[in-house]
Amino acid sequence: MTATAPVPAPATPRAGLRERISQDVTWILGLRWALVVAATMVAFWNTLGAVVTEMGSQTIITYLPAVLVLVLIAATGVSWRRGEERPIHDRQTDVIAGVVLLFIAMTVKFLNLRYTDAYLVSHVDLLALWIFALGSCALVFGLRPVARYRWVWFLLLMIFPVPYRMEVLVMRGGPVAAGVVMVAFAAAATWVASARTWRRGLVGASIAAVAGTMALFVVRMVFPDVRLWVYQTVPAVAAALAACAVLYVDRRRVSHVAWSPLGREKYRPAVKKVGRPGMLLAAVAIAMAFIPIPTFGDIPNPRIDGLDTRPPMLVPSGWVAGQVRQYEWVSRMYGRNAVMTGQDLYQSQGSLEFDKFARPRKVVVNTIESSRPITFEVYPIFFVYDLVGDRFSDSQEIPLPHGVTGFLQTVVDDTSYLTFNRMTWEWNNGTTTQRVTIVSVDNHEPDAQFPSPQPTVVRNLNTFITVLFRGNSVVTDLEPQFKDKDLLIDCATDLINAQVDAIGTTT
């Protein structure tokens, strides 16, 4: 009898790359996050470019990288906690919610064009970016996983800079105030990351707050002149990492669980396929990439070597100097070395051309010196005066001597029934920039009231919301009357010539 040799089993074909990716949770999550990040970057490429430019000028927007790091810490803490999710998923609801959020994001980015004069201070497009990212995750991951990270999304809303600016300015501005707000945010991020229970989250937030305050004190005492981003980033991030590390070690030591948080099985995404929603997300991102943002950095700023930009300005012939006032609070907005003065100037001789009784007219000249000219666009001129509720005309470009371009504008105060004419220009000496504003009022009496410089960022939030819902027409003077146009041109010409003529003398 002949024995029959066993037939070898056929070899199992090796899974292809597509099959391996579809079965590997890490690959699935990585590719979906890559889709969300890529779509966001495409949709907001111009916004991200504007933020990078502003960060390069060392404005207060340098807090954003610290926010992203702290949000990542909070998200990591949430992901390391095993949460129970009901196995109920409605894909239609996910898609509907995601599409609605994408539409809102597109609308908000369009609305951003309403704030051309306050674009850098408001950055409404960053709010649109947050809404877009939220909608993208609803499409790609589903609403239930997004809801599980609800506090992380709430923290990410910090990329909208208006609340942060308000908090810093209310605390009198400066790098320390900017650092204090970020330490408080780090404490909140630590609470989200470590809150297995409310008590544990409170302990983590307390550790982060104490550690961040101590680190901020050290930076202030040892390195007082470091860049603003150091105050905003180093104490906050170091405090959050230290607090999370302490609680992580305590958790592993007490509960005797594995030290590796990634040693457990990962959740598979509730949404199994993102084919059509993914294509919709890509299409919306490409469409939003063509929505422009308000321009900035194009204000004429001629360089005149040797120009003395330190206020007050030299009084030209034909004018008589009056009271000079100094405003130290401008350093909150325009940098620690910024200086502002207001000086009264009077015509040495009146003229019937400017007053029916030939009385000498009075103008007020306000000058600000800063080493960071972009801050003049971050905090436009209407943030320097208490002009909340007033109406402004469009600016007229006025050519002035030595290549200077002035901008003439009317301001209507409906409360006091006064109209102000305002001439503004900027120039620099290669190191510092000076913004000059000349104001006249249609009340020619000696006790006429002029706009008084004072910080109004918080009060302007009301105007900001009004424009959001009612449009620019509520704050626009549609029928401007430039009664003092010639007076302001003459004054500006005399001031410019006096400053330039003094360069050779001082040299």
Please report whether residue 10 resides in a domain: no
Q: Domain boundary residue among 234, 268, 289?
A: 289
Are 366 and 489 part of one and the same domain?
A: yes
Please report whether residue 436 resides in a domain: yes
Q: Domain boundary residue among 249, 273, 289?
A: 289
- pLDDT tens string for the chain (507 positions)? 455 555 555 545 555 555 555 556 677 788 888 999 999 999 999 999 999 998 988 888 999 999 999 999 999 888 887 666 566 666 788 888 999 999 999 999 988 887 777 788 888 899 999 999 999 999 988 888 888 899 999 999 999 998 898 888 888 778 899 999 999 999 999 999 988 888 888 999 999 999 999 999 999 999 888 988 999 999 999 999 999 988 888 777 766 665 555 555 666 666 677 788 889 999 999 999 999 988 887 788 899 999 988 888 999 998 998 889 998 888 888 887 888 999 999 988 888 888 888 888 999 999 999 888 888 888 877 777 766 667 778 888 999 999 999 999 888 877 777 888 999 999 999 899 999 999 998 888 878 888 888 776 666 666 566 555 555 555 666 677 788 899 999 999 999 999 998 886 544
Tokens of 110: 């369009």
Are 281 and 410 part of one and the same domain?
A: no
Tokens of 283: 């299409």
Measured CA to CA, the distance from residue 50 to residue 41 in angstroms comes to 13
Q: What is the pLDDT of residue 133?
A: 96
Are 102 and 217 part of one and the same domain?
A: yes
Q: What is the pLDDT of residue 109?
A: 92
Kind and range of the H or E run holding 405: strand 405-413
Are 278 and 323 part of one and the same domain?
A: no
Torsion 146-184-374-113 (CA) sign: positive
Predicted model pTM: 0.85
Count of positions (residues) in the chain: 507
Tokens of 373: 């000219």
Please report whether residue 308 resides in a domain: no
Are 238 and 343 part of one and the same domain?
A: no
Residues forming beta bridges with residue 339, ordered by sequence position: 369
Measured CA to CA, the distance from residue 42 to residue 223 in angstroms comes to 39
Are 51 and 154 part of one and the same domain?
A: yes
Per-residue burial over 93-132, b if 16 or more Cβ lie within 10 Å, else e, is ebbebbbebbeebbebbebbebbebbbbbbbbbbbbbbbb
Are 274 and 367 part of one and the same domain?
A: no
Measured CA to CA, the distance from residue 250 to residue 325 in angstroms comes to 58
Please report whether residue 68 resides in a domain: yes
- Answer yes or no: are the C-beta atoms of 502 and 308 closer than 8 Å: yes
Measured CA to CA, the distance from residue 466 to residue 464 in angstroms comes to 5
Are 283 and 352 part of one and the same domain?
A: no
Please report whether residue 311 resides in a domain: no
Please report whether residue 131 resides in a domain: yes
Are 354 and 280 part of one and the same domain?
A: no
Please report whether residue 74 resides in a domain: yes
DSSP summary character for residue 427: E
Measured CA to CA, the distance from residue 318 to residue 491 in angstroms comes to 9
The total domain count for the chain is 2
| Residue listed under structure tokens 């007229």 | 396
Chain centroid to Cα 70, Å, comes to 17
Q: Domain boundary residue among 246, 271, 289?
A: 289
Are 253 and 367 part of one and the same domain?
A: no
Are 428 and 389 part of one and the same domain?
A: yes
DSSP string of 129-179, one letter each residue: HHHHHHHHHHHHH-HHHHHHTHHHHHHHGGGSHHHHHHHHHHTT-HHHHHH
Structural domain containing residue 102: 19-289
Please report whether residue 5 resides in a domain: no
| Residue listed under structure tokens 């989200």 | 192
What residues contact residue 267 under an 8 Å CB cut-off, 6+ apart? 25, 85, 145
Are 152 and 273 part of one and the same domain?
A: yes
